Structure 1
Amino acid sequence: MSSSRLPRRLALAAAATAALLTAALTACGSSGMDHDMSGMNHGTTSAPASASATPGSEHSMPGMPGMDHSSTPGMEGSSGLSDNQAGYRLTTRDTTVPAGKQADYAFTITGPDGKQVTDFAVEQTKQMHSYAIRSDLTGFQHLHPTMATDGTWTAPLAALTPGTWRLYTSFTPNSGDGKGNSLVLSRTVTVDGAASTEQLPAASATAEVDGYTVTVKGSPMANMAHEMTVSIAKDGKPVTDLQPYLDTYAHLTAFHAGDLAFAHLHPETTVNGDHGGPDLTFHAEFPQSGDWRLFLQFQTAGQLHTAALTLKVS
């Protein structure tokens, strides 16, 4: 190699080294940005029903609460539309239920080890909450099943009308791999007979039930945490005699029109005796946009009331 070509070769090598160093530094910077922006996925389609959130994987941007799209409070990233999640599986005995009469719906929960789970944490006074809703979002039932010693649960379904129903189970394992993780699993059943579908009522901020007027205040957006207020009045006067129901003054459950995705809105109002109301605050986070059918349950004078309304989520 001639001495005149050596400096040129050295210069080219130095330039290449500098370019590689610049690229490496740029990659490191991009990696850090990806970490900070991991909660900024703006897809409006919910995650697959069997998906589960990984603890510690949420990274919302400072000043932008609720921008993490991987989970919904109490659901660990699940829309409740699968019978299995994080190794836990819902197994049922029946795929059909008779129409027009009370029926016992039996089911079991098996864990990642394949064994029936019998140790559940208590949430809002119950180890297991079950819900039933028909495909047109009618016939809502909130049930509290009982468990036998072998882990078999039985939910006493009130009479169902013909059609397709989805039955949900909401629970938190108290031991094992899923200890402390809230899960929602579901399966469908068919009620024989001629089904007549009801049209979903238009979106409205108010609903009437048993002489009470329920008003929802707030403009929730999909995959963003919002504070939502529910006010209850009777004969135009604010209600202040709400009684505790499941350790809260109101229980709020929502189902998405079309696919029946599930959302449980968590109460934030502190319970203090039999004089709750008129305003109740909820932590609201809906996994997708569209129409949601809300069912608000509250109790006065020992009577449970259930108000239903349609809420538009942007």
Structure 2
Amino acid sequence: MSTPLRVAAFVAALAAAFALAWGGGRVVGPIDTETVAHEGATAHGGAGSATESHGGHDSAVADASGLTARADGFTLVLAERTPAAGRTRLDFQVLTSSGRPLLDYTRQHEKDLHLVVVRRDLTGFQHVHPTLDRATGTWSVDVRLTAGVWRVIADFTPESWDGITLADDVAVAGDFSPRALPSDDRSATVETPEGTYAVTLEGDTAPGASTVLTTRVELDGRPVTDLEPYLGAFGHLVAIRAGDLGYLHVHPEEGAPGPGIDFATGFPTPGTYRLFLDFQHRGVVHTAAFTVESGGAPGSTDEPDDEHAGGGDHDH
């Protein structure tokens, strides 16, 4: 082959290699990069979430968040990773991409930051609200921990950003006996000195579909119609996926003060979810817990049709 032909062949091969590398780079994508929320956004949907139309409930369902301690340029830093059992104080900071503590937040449900602390077997749930020392950028709150590994989930909205959920684990020394979750259980009782609250959960829990879940509260068999506002709503619902402890954003909808409380959400994947309802009545905040098995086709409930079930009512 002559020299000009060799040069032409080399140039052609080089161009082909460059094109292949460019195409491969576009398919594979960059490595070790983060998705960054756009400034100016105001939706409280969490990192990587999709905007939902709560009226039609037919838009994309947001992925579970709170799977890492670092996302969208923000990092959750716990001061103590092995706290003592019993009543203890949690201190932590939320750092920006520059390494400085985040000080400016957009208030959601009357608080700048909501902290959920739950043991990895999904027991011991606590929804608390730390206080911020603006001089050091450190949040602090007292919690009660038993032996085991606990997930610390911080839900907040930086000023002019989307909502962010970050989470990390702390390990508490001692004898640990994990508790098995009950099977799909959509009723709960809360015993109090004033009586027994019976709380039920209804709604479509199929994966991949936006839905409205309705909780209903009764006290000693009578519907509760005088629920009190708690953090700006008549109830707050937290949903956590068993296994990876993915955190779902659940939005309370406006309505009457009981007995029903509606929440807009969606279950992104099949699996077991633990749901915790906080409601306030007669000046006291109570928590009811449910277990949901999400499975089947989107928009279905895994229930047989009446004509195939021999008629009659069936549970939702």
* TM bin (shorter chain): 0.7 to 0.9
* 1:163-191 CA distance string (max 9 Å, x none): 111101010001xxxx2310110110000
Q: Deviations over 1:76-99 (max 9, x none)?
A: x55201001110111111110111
Correspondent of 2:67 among 74, 81, 90 = 81
Q: Distance in 1 between matches of 2:269 and 2:65?
A: 9
Q: Provide structure 1 residue ranges, at least 5 long, that are not aligned to the other structure.
A: 1-49
Partner of 2:92: 107
- Say if 2:60 and 2:210, in contact at 8 Å, map to a contact too: no
Return the match for 2:212 from 205, 227, 234.
227
Aligned AA for 2:166?
L
Matches of 1:59 and 1:123, distance apart in 2: 17
| Percent sequence identity over aligned pairs | 37
Residue 170 of structure 1 is matched in structure 2 by 155
Q: Does the C-alpha gap of structure 1 residues 232 and 165 become closer, same or farther in structure 2, counting only changes over 3 Å? A: same
**Residue 193 (str. 1) matches residue 174 (str. 2):** yes
Corresponding pairs, count: 248
Aligned-partner SS, 1:80: coil
Change in CA separation of 1:128 and 1:59 when aligned onto 2, cut-off 3 Å: closer
Corresponding position of 1:138: 123
- Structure 2: how far apart are the matches of 1:93 and 1:182? 23
Q: Distance in 2 between matches of 1:233 and 1:270?
A: 17
Q: How far 1:213 sits from its partner (Å)?
A: 0.9
Contact 1:248 1:270 (C-alpha < 8 Å) held by counterparts = no
Q: Distance between the aligned counterparts of 2:209 and 2:36, measured in 1? A: 18
Deviation at 1:219, TM superposition (A): 1.7
Query: Quick check: 1:291 aligned with 2:272?
Result: yes
Amino acid in the other structure paired with 1:237: R
Report the residue type matching 1:155 in the other structure: V
Aligned mate of 1:126, from 101, 111, 118? 111
C-alpha offsets along residues 146-167 of structure 1, whole Å, 9 cap, x if unaligned? Answer: 0002211112112x11111110
Distance 1:305 1:131 in 2: 15
Q: Residue type of the partner of 2:141? A: A
Structure 1 residue corresponding to 2:81, chosen from 81, 86, 95: 95
| Matched AA of 1:92 | L
**Aligned partners of 1:57 and 1:190: how far apart in 2?**
29
Change (3 A) 1:102 1:57: closer
After TM superposition, give the deviation of residue 220 of structure 1 in Å.
Answer: 1.8
- Cα separation, 2, equivalents of 1:251 and 1:134: 19
TM-score by length of 2: 0.73
Find the aligned partners of 1:260 and 1:309 in 2 and give their Cα distance: 15
| 1:153 paired to 2:148 | no
Amino acid at match of 2:168: R
Q: Which residue of 1 aligns with 2:201?
A: 216
Is contact 1:130–1:155 with CA below 8 Å preserved after alignment?
no
257, 260, 280: which one aligns with 2:245: 260
Question: Does the aligned pair in 1 maintain the 2:255–2:261 contact within 8 Å?
Answer: no
* Alpha-carbon distance in structure 1 between the residues aligned to 2:218 and 2:49: 42
Q: Answer yes or no: is the 8 Å Cα contact 1:250–1:299 preserved in 2.
A: yes
Provide the rounded CA distance (Å) in 1 between the counterparts of 2:207 and 2:185: 18
Equivalence for 1:243: 228
Counterpart CA distance in 1 for 2:171 and 2:224 is 40
Please give the root-mean-square deviation of Cα atoms over the aligned residues, in Å: 2.4
Q: Is the 8 A contact 1:251 1:298 kept in 2?
A: yes
> Gaps (5+ residues) in structure 2?
1-33, 42-47, 296-316
Q: C-alpha distance in 1, partners of 2:115/2:233?
A: 18
